[in-house]
Amino acid sequence: MTASAGARFYHTLTEHTKAGKPLQIVGAINAYSAMLASQVGHQALYLSGAGVANASFGLPDLGMTSLDNVLEDARRITDAVDTPLLVDIDTGFGGAFNIAQTIKKMEKAGVAAVHIEDQVAQKRCGHRPNKSIVSIAEMTDRLKAALDARTDADFVVMARTDALAVEGLDAAVERAVAFAEAGADMIFAEALTDIEMYRKFTEVLDIPVLANMTEFGQTELYSTEALFDVGVEMVLYPLSAFRAMSQAALNVYQHILADGSQAAVVDTMQTRMALYDFLGYHAYEEKLDTLFKDKPNQDQ
Ligand SMILES: C[C@](O)(C(=O)O)[C@H](CC(=O)O)C(=O)O
Ligand SMILES: [Mg+2]
């Protein structure tokens, strides 16, 4: 793999735009999910901040996880797949030097892109009420720290604005423009409540805009076609697979308890063979057989 992760992210984004469709970026909560998504054909993956907090730590998405927490989950994914990964770094995990560390470590971990947001450090989920945001100047400083810290010019620094719910559409667009002027490579327009709002961003920006299609939030689940029509180039599905996995797991736990057996839910499970196929298990086994064929297990 010669091109950097960021360069590969740009490449697939450009290919999609040329083909007249947005790049879909799907949440992968762990390395195996990343393998599933990649092997069915997804070309960009996402590590959700909420997902790390919820799934890896059993915590809410309220800025309680650290750089190292997120980095560890990111690294597991980049070790498992080559598909470019966008990582949610919340507000950057501290002041200017902390943000610089975040960028350096993410880049070194083989991450393609990060998004950093303009909420206060005591952040909330973008789709919940009572968010607070920092000034344009403070967010611009965050961006400058991030942009200055990267060593690969193709490493993507995406600026997210949570301003719509706090200050309204015009202010949110104004912020996005200021963030683009500060050097942000892409804009994440968070929690928009009408599809036409995306057009307001895409009309004035000449950098790509991302739409977040998270479920049970403030934004309707628009199709890729509808979003591309209003100029959106990237569509995010941050927690879709995680929500589905969690519901499926809950169902299994409940059945085992209630039925005294998992028989009723076995057909909802991925089979051992399917698991092994996605993992490439058989190739590992064959490797063992060739490596140790003249040495049958000595201990038996
Ligand atoms: C995209 C997001 O930042 C995330 O951490 O996945 C969340 C998603 C969610 O809570 O549904 C957000 O939109 O704030
Ligand atoms: Mg988040």
92 within 8 A of 99, measured Cβ to Cβ: yes
Instruction: Give the closest ligand to the alpha carbon of residue 63.
Output: 2
Question: Is the per-residue pLDDT at 158 higher than 80?
Answer: yes
**CB neighbourhood size of 95 (10 A):** 12
pLDDT tens column, 90-138: 999 999 999 999 999 999 999 999 999 999 999 999 999 999 999 999 9
Residue 293, pLDDT score: 84
C-beta contacts of 135-144 below 8 A and 24+ residues apart: 136/174, 136/175, 136/178, 139/175, 139/178, 139/179, 140/178, 140/179, 140/182, 141/96, 142/91, 142/92, 142/96, 142/99, 142/116, 142/118, 143/116, 143/179, 143/182, 143/183, 143/184, 144/96, 144/182, 144/183
**C-alpha 271 – ligand 2 centre gap (Å):** 32
Residue 296, pLDDT score: 61
How far apart (Å, rounded) are the C-alpha atoms in residues 133 and 68?
Answer: 24
Decide if 206 is catalytic. no
**C-alpha 125 – ligand 2 centre gap (Å):** 6
pLDDT tens column, 164-210: 999 999 999 999 999 999 999 999 999 999 999 999 999 999 999 99
Q: Which of 118, 185, 190, 233 is catalytic?
A: 190
Decide if 90 is catalytic. yes
- The burial of 286, by beta-carbon neighbours within 10 Å (0-12 exposed, 13-18 middle, 19 or more buried), is given as exposed
The pTM assigned to this predicted structure is 0.97
Nearest to 107 by CA among 53, 167, 149: 149
Describe the crossing of helices 31-39 and 67-80 by its angle, rounded to 10 degrees. Answer: 40
- Ligand 1 pocket (Cβ < 6 Å) reads 48-51, 61, 88, 125-127, 212, 214, 217, 238-239
Over its C-alpha atoms, the chain yields an Rg (Å, rounded) of: 21
Is 236 strand, coil or helix?
Answer: strand
Residue 223, φ and ψ in degrees, nearest 5? -80, 160
Decide if 229 is catalytic. no
How far apart (Å, rounded) are the C-alpha atoms in residues 218 and 165?
Answer: 10
pLDDT tens column, 15-49: 999 999 999 999 999 999 999 999 999 999 999 99
Counting from 1 in the atom list of ligand 1, the atom nearest the Cα of 191 is 13
**C-alpha 116 – ligand 2 centre gap (Å):** 9
How far apart (Å, rounded) are the C-alpha atoms in residues 182 and 161?
Answer: 14
Counting from 1 in the atom list of ligand 1, the atom nearest the Cα of 115 is 3
Contacts of 91 (CB under 8 A, 6+ apart): 63, 116, 117, 119, 120, 121, 123, 142
How far apart (Å, rounded) are the C-alpha atoms in residues 202 and 32?
Answer: 34
Decide if 117 is catalytic. yes
Can you tell me the ipTM of this complex?
0.99
Q: Which of 117, 118, 154, 185 is catalytic?
A: 117
Q: Which of 142, 150, 160, 175 is catalytic?
A: 160
Q: Which of 73, 90, 118, 162 is catalytic?
A: 90
Tokens of 285: 């086994």
Decide if 185 is catalytic. no
**C-alpha 30 – ligand 2 centre gap (Å):** 16
How far apart (Å, rounded) are the C-alpha atoms in residues 225 and 23?
Answer: 11
224 within 8 A of 24, measured Cβ to Cβ: yes
